[in-house]
Amino acid sequence: MSDIILHHYPTSPFSEKVRLVLGYKQLAWKSVIVPAIMPKPDVQALTGGYRKTPFLQIGSDVYCDSALICDVLEHIQPTPTLYPESHKGLARVLAQWADTTLFWSAMAYNLQPKGAAAMFDGAPPEAAKAFGADRAAMSAGMTRLRPADATAAYKSYLRRINDMLDGQDFVLGSAPCVADFACYHPLWFSRKRVPVMAGILDATPAVLAWMDRMAALGHGSIEKFSATEAIAVCSASTRATAQNDNTFQHEHGIPLGSRVTVAAETFGPEATEGELVAATRTRYTLKRVDARAGTVHVHFPRIGYALRAVPPV
Ligand SMILES: N[C@@H](CCC(=O)N[C@@H](CS)C(=O)NCC(=O)O)C(=O)O
């Protein structure tokens, strides 16, 4: 198998989720640091439009979204598992809640004026302005939680996680599962990226102790890599990563071979366009050709993403 390449940046919570999964599974990986805001020409050479962070590259296969990345890493390294047999459904549902509801409450709390000021302390004012404008464009059409509402919700969610940790080391038992990684990353942002906001965690000591256990999993074995090298790996790669499920699931009336776009349902509307070459129960695969990256297979989970046919011209 080709090397695992993670495209990410240090302050990205969803990247921290994946970095810790790589650590838990003790995997070796190549690290490409991507920009936190647009423009992202090297990212989009590989993804064909998707601009969110992180994404995973294996040869000429590009996997978007941390939920799909968890599935791919589980396939590559099944032990220790992210999806314990006894809690398979629950673990995924809890992870999905954490990646959406918990994440947005935590971030609205984290990035209220005091947190945002601390995050950009020492940076030129243009940096904060550019970041704000970039994220405002990404969140067009989304309901923004007000800080007071977000704070109350975040406190309740922390108490619920604290309750889950009563008598056990991880949220669903004695070992971490996908839900632990998903619950952890928004809290990590409070604690590590905006420590000025981290006091909210003090009321839930079991959460703090669990966060220490999560952090101790580490990030695996990391080698620095450049975007140029990653694009070269892609263009030199003769596919294909084995797919464990090629069954076509017809939901949209769009046959394989059609030109399609896939875009996130919320936050970051940039779409990827290509030929639909697979649509399994859980994911889409688009084949596209890029001037620099060559033929790329870009994969998305179905959940959270909208598939549309491109009307013929
Ligand atoms: N559902 C996505 C969410 C990814 C996401 O929102 N990532 C944030 C950073 S943590 C992002 O993309 N921010 C804008 C950017 O990095 O360009 C996933 O699970 O990967």
pLDDT digit string, tens, across residues 100-138: 999 999 999 999 999 999 999 999 999 999 999 999 999
Token code pair at residue 213: 């256990």
Give the other-Cβ count within 10 Å of 279's Cβ. Answer: 24
Task: Output the residue whose Cα is nearest ligand 1's atom 14.
Answer: 52
Query: Over 70: is that where the pLDDT of 77 sits?
Result: yes
Give the other-Cβ count within 10 Å of 82's Cβ. Answer: 25
CA distance readout (Å), 254 to 34, 215, 301: 33, 43, 17
User: DSSP assignment, residue 170?
Assistant: B
What gap in Å lies between CA 7 and CA 269, rounded to an integer?
19
Query: Over 60: is that where the pLDDT of 153 sits?
Result: yes
pLDDT at position 249, please? 87
Reported residue count of the chain is 313
Token code pair at residue 166: 């009563």
Query: Over 70: is that where the pLDDT of 240 sits?
Result: no
For residues 63 and 299, the answer to whether their CB atoms sit within 8 Å is: yes
Q: pLDDT digit string (tens) for 193-225?
A: 999 999 999 999 999 999 999 999 999 999 999
Strand 61-64 and strand 272-279: pairing? unpaired
pLDDT at position 244, please? 54
pLDDT at position 211, please? 99
| Nearest-atom index, ligand 1, CA of 34 | 16
Q: pLDDT digit string (tens) for 249-308?
A: 889 999 999 999 999 999 998 999 999 999 999 999 999 999 999 999 999 999 999 999
Burial tier of 233 (Cβ tally within 10 Å: 0-12, 13-18, 19+) = buried
- DSSP strands (E only) in the chain: 5-8, 28-33, 55-58, 61-64, 221-224, 259-264, 272-279, 283-290, 294-301, 305-309
Query: Over 90: is that where the pLDDT of 246 sits?
Result: no
Distance 14 CA to ligand 1 centre (A): 6
Distance 55 CA to ligand 1 centre (A): 9
Cβ of 290 closer than 6 Å to ligand 1, yes or no, is no
What gap in Å lies between CA 201 and CA 212, rounded to an integer?
12
Residues 6 or more apart whose CB falls under 8 angstroms from that of 311 comprise none
CA distance readout (Å), 50 to 44, 56, 290: 7, 12, 14
pLDDT at position 241, please? 55
Alpha-carbon dihedral 280, 284, 293, 33, rounded to 10 degrees:
-110
Cβ of 109 closer than 6 Å to ligand 1, yes or no, is no
pLDDT at position 96, please? 98
| Nearest-atom index, ligand 1, CA of 55 | 20
For the ranges 72-76, 139-143, 276-280, which has the lowest average pLDDT? 139-143
Cβ of 14 closer than 6 Å to ligand 1, yes or no, is yes
What residue ranges do the domains of the chain occupy? 5-79+222-309, 87-215
Q: pLDDT digit string (tens) for 82-106?
A: 999 999 999 999 999 999 999 999 9
Cβ of 7 closer than 6 Å to ligand 1, yes or no, is no
Task: Output the residue whose Cα is nearest ligand 1's atom 19.
Answer: 66
Task: Output the residue whose Cα is nearest ligand 1's atom 12.
Answer: 52
Task: Output the residue whose Cα is nearest ligand 1's atom 17.
Answer: 52
Cβ of 225 closer than 6 Å to ligand 1, yes or no, is no
What gap in Å lies between CA 73 and CA 76, rounded to an integer?
5
Give the other-Cβ count within 10 Å of 41's Cβ. Answer: 10
Ligand 1, from 6, 8, 14, 135: best to mutate by most atoms within 8 Å of Cβ? 14
Percent of the chain exceeding pLDDT 70 equals 98
Give the other-Cβ count within 10 Å of 199's Cβ. Answer: 9
Look up the CATH architecture of domain 5-79+222-309: 3-Layer(aba) Sandwich (3.40)
For residues 108 and 145, the answer to whether their CB atoms sit within 8 Å is: yes
Give the chain's radius of gyration (CA, Å).
19
Mean pLDDT of the chain: 96
Cβ of 178 closer than 6 Å to ligand 1, yes or no, is no
Query: Over 70: is that where the pLDDT of 243 sits?
Result: no
Residue with tokens 């309740």: 156
pLDDT at position 245, please? 65
Query: Over 60: is that where the pLDDT of 242 sits?
Result: no
Provide the CATH number for the domain formed by 87-215 in this structure: 1.20.1050.10
pLDDT at position 144, please? 87
Distance 84 CA to ligand 1 centre (A): 26
Distance 8 CA to ligand 1 centre (A): 9
Residue with tokens 């990986």: 29
Helices (H), 77-199: 88-97, 103-110, 113-119, 125-138, 147-164, 178-188
pLDDT at position 11, please? 96
Global confidence as pTM: 0.97
